[in-house]
Amino acid sequence: MLIMTETRSTCPYCGVGCGVIIQSDGKQITGVRGDPDHPANFGRLCSKGSTLHLTASSVVTGQTRLLQPLQRLQRHGPTQQISWDHALDLAAQRFARTITQHGPDAVGFYISGQLLTEDYYVFNKLVKGLIGTNNIDSNSRLCMSSAVAGYKQALGMDAPPSCYDDIGHADTIFIVGSNTAYAHPILFRRIEDARKTNPALKIIVVDPRKTDTADIADVYLPILPGTDVMLFNGMLHLMLWEGWVDQAFMAAHTSGFDALKTTVRDATPELVAQICGISQADLLQAARLFAGLDTRDDSNFIASSADTTRATGRKPTLSLYCQGLSQSSSGSAKNAALINLHLATGQIGKPGAGPFSLTGQPNAMGGREVGGMANLLSGHRDLGNPVHRREVAALWGVPEVPSQPGKTAVELFQAAADGEIKALWIACTNPAQSMPDQATVRRALERVEFVVVQEAFASTATCAYADLLLPATTWGEKEGTVTNSERRISRVRAAIRPNGEARHDWHIATHFAQRLEALLPPRMPIPETGSRTLFPYTNPESIWNEHRESTRGRDLDITGMSYAMLEQAPQQWPLKAGEQQGQARLYEDAVFPTPDGKARFVSTVYRPVAEPRSARYPFSLTTGRLRDQWHGMSRTGTLGRLFGHASEPVVALHPQDLAKLALQPGELVHVTSKQGSIMLPVQASAEVAVNQAFIAMHWGEEFLSGISATGQRLAGVNALTTSVFCPDSKQPEFKHSAVKILKA
């Protein structure tokens, strides 16, 4: 007799981190519902989360999952089944040979914000601690690295200071570069609830596209793509001019304002209106609302020095922001310029106020916490800091962590395309679709001598390049933890046994590492027993315990957070040993983790997009998400009902542009950038401004084929996007490419 059970877990899709209750019969997942006790969602789920069980059904699993290790003797040739032992031995031998012949920097690892924290921890230690290279980066580089850089530059640490409850406390919500209604739907429900509770709540939305999120705005600023820094500098210019800044907060708790004052002096309303393509009146209104001053009839508002007196009794402003700021060649400056506004107005560290980045992936935060990227180390430490390197080496029991910076995502694939990276391990991500400039990425995957793909799904574009395919478990089968956007750590729990021969990601990394240890020269003297390993893990909790010890004394100290505590309820960090509850909001004492305890204004200079529109490429292309799809569709694309909202890829253009190009809706067009070209139907959309175009990011090669400038076969919108990245965060500019559009 089958016994129905319920298992508490977390949704694997986005950074909201909703709690779910999985129903199963012991063999199969049969249902899912929102966890009423989880503080991220209180029982609610969006269209993606509420259909999780359907994408985990046995029919879908049988059709889509990678269920046994496979070897390919020739690139793109047929696969043959091999045993786990054979597969891991082969991987260890090939990596050991490459390291021995070419050095540790000849191998690279590209992992994922979809991995659990424990998975991430093992990979990071394997690469930096055992192999001795920093060539490990994550698709979180494409997601939040500019937010990390912005927080660190301005506040001293990568720590989002706000929490979801702040939505209910805010009097103004400033949403910028985020289609929250689609990308973080349950958080958007909270914004709608907040407005019902507080009809005086003002919502400002900044986005080149008039999205469903923009539809609820009191003030909508349709800035031209990439002009955010100019907007924020212009808002600060007005705040300074009108005396709306919080002089007392700035004097006591910030530094660096004088340099910034010089930078924003030239951002006059006239110039900002011209560069950003908005009206001066809207700019003024946004600046005053953000400052938290009187919200009288805005249509009649005329700024004057008399408004200075209203700086007292300031109302709280919360900023919510996402990839529109971060996926940019000036992503770090955009993040820092927004935080400048919070520091100038004291809008931080109090209920309803603060800069709050929304993470795209379910565990981009956890990856940052364990330092699973090319420039980071465990416990929010920095690779560039010799003290931090020594601390981590001591924690891991290795002589040193190498100081040579690792290659970030774009750099890693460029190095592979150049022949520098000879063995590549890809886990839980699909770079052959999701990375920008697909032509370079596919050239890299062709050139690398040995490619391992560790993946739950068999049909991702990257799988076609694998010499070795290792089947990984996925949601419903995995155990571990994830951290959501508000620093809340939740347990992920298994409801059923792994399908087929799939193994857990931490388990695969651990057993590969143990084999590699035996093949590489020992990093430390081996005891007489000969049993020493840097990877003694038997379950996720043993990894968690090592990870949490690595956070002792750091900003994210979770030494008080055990698996037993997380069994009771999810918790926010920090939560030190002896404490019973995490910290909901940071910087309430206005003391920041910088040498002098003060937050830092960053002198943010506006720079235009990397590929400006031109006579040859006259459209600005932006990319983004659909409501019901997730990433490369490996899970959501298996369910017909999730295509009801958008059934096929389209390029959306303003009706005036359709008329100008003599196009009818539905006609096929070639969309071409310097990188490549794709062909798809055109759609008339008033959401998109004139001279702009929008294509959703999700569609892969089954839906949207293309070709590179040199004739190579490509797929998806990233055939078009540029790999130019922010110099500070190394995050690429997905949000703008210059394209031309011609009738097919």
The region of 180-188, 408-416, 680-688, 712-720 touching ligand SF4 under the rule CB under 6 A is: 180-188
Smallest separation (angstroms) from ligand SF4 to the CB of 138: 19
CB of 177 to ligand SF4, least distance (A): 18
CB of 35 to ligand SF4, least distance (A): 10
Q: Which residue is nearest to ligand SF4 (CB)?
A: 49
Give CA–CA dist 690/311, Å, rounded: 39
Q: Are 397 and 81 in contact (CB under 8 A)?
A: no
Position 631 contacts ligand SF4 (CB under 6 A) = no
> Which range binds ligand SF4 by CB under 6 A, 21-29, 182-190, 247-255, 562-570?
182-190
Under the criterion CB under 6 A, does residue 512 sit at the interface with ligand SF4? no
Q: Which residue number, 18 or 29, has a Cβ lying nearer to ligand SF4?
A: 18
Rule CB under 6 A: choose which of 22, 29, 32, 45 binds ligand SF4. Answer: 45
Q: Write phi, then psi, for 61 (nearest 5 degrees).
A: -60, -45
By beta-carbon proximity to ligand SF4, the closer residue of 186 and 376 is 186
* Residue 488 binds ligand SF4, judged by CB under 6 A: no
Nearer CB in complex with ligand SF4: 180/550? 180
C-alpha R_g of the chain: 25
**Residue 45 CB, nearest distance to ligand SF4 (Å)?**
4
Among 9, 18, 115, 393, binds ligand SF4 (CB under 6 A): 18
Chain centroid to CA 347: 25
**What is the identity of the amino acid at 98?**
T
How is residue 304 written in tokens? Answer: 């004057």
475 makes contact with ligand SF4 (CB under 6 A): no
Residue type, 9: S
13 interacts with ligand SF4 by CB under 6 A = yes
Scanning 10-18, 269-277, 393-401, 572-580 for contacts with ligand SF4 by CB under 6 A, the matching segment is 10-18
**Residues from 686 through 715 that contact ligand SF4 (CB under 6 A):** none
Cβ atoms of residues 443 and 417 within 8 Å: yes
Q: Which is nearer to ligand SF4, 14 or 287 (CB)?
A: 14
For ligand SF4, the binding residue among 21, 111, 181, 186 (CB under 6 A) is 186
Residues sharing a CB contact under 8 Å with residue 542, sequence separation 6 or more, in sequence order = 536
Residue 608's alpha-carbon distances to 181, 414, 459, 622, in angstroms, are: 28, 24, 38, 15
Pick from 256, 145, 229: which is nearest to 732 by CA? 145
Q: Rounded to whole angstroms, how far apart are CA atoms 206 and 192?
A: 17
DSSP 225-255: TT-HHHHHHHHHHHHHHHT-S-HHHHHHHEE
Q: Are 554 and 129 a contacting pair, CB within 8 Å?
A: no
Which one of the spans 92-100, 178-186, 285-293, 403-411 is the region binding ligand SF4 (CB under 6 A)? 178-186
Alpha carbon distance 536, 533 (integer Å): 6
Q: Regarding beta strands 219-221 and 254-255, do their DSSP bridges make them parallel or antiparallel, or are they unpaired?
A: unpaired
Dihedral Cα 370, 559, 484, 135, nearest 10 deg: 0
First to last CA, the chain: 59
**Span interacting with ligand SF4, options 8-16, 329-337, 516-524, 568-576, rule CB under 6 A:** 8-16
The answer to the question of residue 39 lying near ligand SF4 (CB under 6 A) is no
Closest to ligand SF4 by CB, 14 or 719: 14
The amino acid at 714: L
By beta-carbon proximity to ligand SF4, the closer residue of 485 and 683 is 485
Neighbours of 734 (CB within 10 A): 27
327 token code pair: 């996926």
Q: Which stretch binds ligand SF4 (CB under 6 A): 12-20, 469-477, 527-535, 580-588?
A: 12-20
Taking CB under 6 A as the binding criterion, the range among 14-22, 374-382, 384-392, 631-639 that sits at the site for ligand SF4 is 14-22
Residue linked to tokens 């001598």: 449
Of residues 21, 35, 49, 320, which one binds ligand SF4 by CB under 6 A?
A: 49
Task: Rule CB under 6 A: choose which of 9, 16, 138, 174 binds ligand SF4.
Answer: 16
What's the min distance (Å) between Cβ of 696 and ligand SF4? 16
Closest CB 379 distance from ligand SF4, rounded Å: 26
Exactly one of 41, 357, 359, 723 binds ligand SF4 (CB under 6 A); that residue is 41
422, 107 Cβ separation under 8 angstroms: yes
Contact call for residue 14 and ligand SF4 (CB under 6 A): yes
β-strands 668-672, 737-743 pairing: antiparallel
Tell me how far, at minimum, the Cβ of 48 lies from ligand SF4, in Å.
Answer: 4
- Report the C-alpha gap between 16 and 357 in whole angstroms: 11
* 639 belongs to the binding site for ligand SF4 (CB under 6 A): no
The beta-strand segments (E) located in 596-721 are 599-600, 619-624, 651-653, 668-672, 676-684, 692-696, 705-708, 713-715
**Please, which residue, 186 or 441, has the CB nearer to ligand SF4?**
186
Residues 6+ apart with CB under 8 A from 199: none
> Could you tell me the smallest distance in angstroms from the CB atom of residue 116 to ligand SF4?
15
Pairing verdict, β 202-206 and 172-176 = parallel
Under rule CB under 6 A, residue 11 binds ligand SF4? yes
Residues in the interface with ligand SF4 (CB under 6 A) total: 14
The packing angle between helices 540-550 and 386-396, to 10°, is 150
Nearer to ligand SF4, 550 or 629 (CB): 629
Please give the Cα distance from 141 to 358 (Å, whole number): 14
* 46 touching ligand SF4, by CB under 6 A: yes
Residue 490 touching ligand SF4 (CB under 6 A): no
Q: Does 48 interact with ligand SF4 (rule: CB under 6 A)?
A: yes
Q: Which is nearer to ligand SF4, 358 or 534 (CB)?
A: 358
Binding site for ligand SF4 (CB under 6 A): 11, 13-14, 16-18, 41, 45-46, 48-49, 184-186
